[in-house]
Amino acid sequence: MTETVLLTVRGEAVLEAEPELAAVTVTLAAQDRDRPQVVARLDAAVAALGAMLDRYPGAVDVREFGSVSVLPEGERKRSGFSGSARVILSVVDFALLGELVSYAAGDEGVSLGGVRWTLSPDSPVYARARRAALADAAARARDYAEALDATVVRLVEVADEGLTSGLAWQGARVEGVAYAASGSGSFAGAAYGKGSGPGMEPQRQRIRAVVEARYTLSPPHQN
């Protein structure tokens, strides 16, 4: 009796989707002759930013407070202190980006870093990409079986790319994520929306998923 044939194939899918999150870093700066005053001004700036964001409930998914630094100015003779604080925002309502630009333009102590467009970690797009990759693997298995004058019997094993060889990575990932930034490295003074300049519009995301699948085939027909 002829044994069945074991076939290993690779399935791949590439999808495009609109971004779901915009990561923005807001930098707040303050200067004063006294260090405690710099700290107080930074605290007030953070509170003012928080109050502005509170006017747009649901627009920000996550607020993270980054590093805070206060350093003396001048090398030999101290002329005062300068400080900065970073607030990292994960924005889900992109209309808020325009408000942030206006907010930064109206306060010289506020600047915005580049926008990083991403998908949500639990985005259903990843699942769609994985399913499409598995469907591609099944289609390849059928193509091989037809070429051998055999039929696919059953699926034996399926895994994310690299798991069968020990070089694994997650089965769906984003590629070609676009970063948007103005030429000066800050969005302050820019306009958000139509005609606002390169990179300010949401950048489509490219999601790639790869799976490895093993099938058994019926014995190829012998002529």
Measured CA to CA in angstroms, residue 117 lies from 1, 84, 178, 179, 206 at distances of 57, 25, 6, 7, 11
pLDDT tens-digit readout, 18-74: 999 999 999 999 999 999 999 999 999 999 999 999 999 999 998 998 888 998 887
pLDDT of residue 77: 61
d(CA 103, CA 31): 19
- Non-local (6+) Cβ contacts of 139 within 8 A are 11
For 21-118, give the CATH class.
alpha beta
d(CA 206, CA 126): 10
pTM for the whole thing?
A: 0.72
Q: What residue ranges do the domains of the chain occupy?
A: 5-17+123-175+206-217, 21-118
Structure tokens at 86: 């970073």
- Non-local (6+) Cβ contacts of 107 within 8 A are none
CA-based nearest residue to 87, from 58, 121, 110, 119: 110
| Domain topology for 5-17+123-175+206-217 | Translation Initiation Factor IF3 (3.30.110)
Q: Could you give the percent of the chain with pLDDT greater than 70?
A: 79
Average pLDDT across the chain, whole number: 82
**pLDDT at residue 192 above 80?**
no
